[in-house]
Amino acid sequence: MNADQLRDYMLSFLFLRYLSNNYETAAKKELGKDYPDPGNDDKRRYCPKKCVC
């Protein structure tokens, strides 16, 4: 991977992260108290081992 490809990859990643954060913020603002709060028992949490926890 050369420097140009790395730059494009990193910029794409940062842009997707920006979109993700803004989407969640906009959803919370729009839905207000109706925005679902998963709590601590949410089974959809990220698991680095990719196991079925």
> pLDDT exceeding 70 applies to what percent of the chain?
70
Count the alpha carbons within 13 Å of 44 in the hemisphere toward its beta carbon.
3
Average pLDDT, the chain: 80
Count the alpha carbons within 13 Å of 41 in the hemisphere toward its beta carbon.
0
User: pLDDT category, 41, cuts 50, 70, 90?
Assistant: low
Q: Is the CB of residue 27 less than 8 Å from the CB of residue 35?
A: yes
Q: Which of 2-6, 11-15, 44-48 has the lowest mean pLDDT?
A: 44-48
Q: Which of 35, 31, 36, 53 is nearest to 44 (CA)?
A: 53
Residue 9: pLDDT above 90? yes
Q: Is the CB of residue 47 less than 8 Å from the CB of residue 53?
A: yes
Q: Please count the structural domains in the chain.
A: 1
Residue 2: pLDDT above 60? yes
Q: Which of 7-16, 28-37, 43-52 has the lowest mean pLDDT?
A: 43-52
Expressed as residue numbers, the domain containing 18 is 3-30
Is 26 inside a domain boundary? yes
* Element spanning 27, H or E: helix 3-31
Is 41 inside a domain boundary? no
